[in-house]
């Protein structure tokens, strides 16, 4: 299974500019057609 782009970023712990993600609570909104879901994720380093 191939990782999604945001999964790769969090796995590596850096954003597109090379900045490290800080520990904290992050929210994602997923949209697919009429489907909409907000997911929260805790990131700890």
> Tens digits of per-residue pLDDT, 1-45?
566 676 666 677 777 787 887 888 988 888 888 999 998 988 887
Our count of domains for the chain comes to 1
Which strand (E) or helix (H) includes residue 11? helix 5-12
The torsion angles phi and psi of 6, rounded to 5 degrees, stand at: -70, -30
pLDDT at 13: 73
Domain that holds residue 32: 5-43
pLDDT at 9: 65
pLDDT at 37: 92
């Amino acid at each position: 299974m191939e990782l999604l782009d945001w999964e790769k970023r969090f796995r590596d712990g850096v954003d597109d500019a090379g900045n490290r993600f800080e520990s904290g609570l992050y929210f994602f909104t997923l949209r697919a057609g009429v489907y909409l879901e907000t997911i929260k994720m805790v990131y700890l380093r």
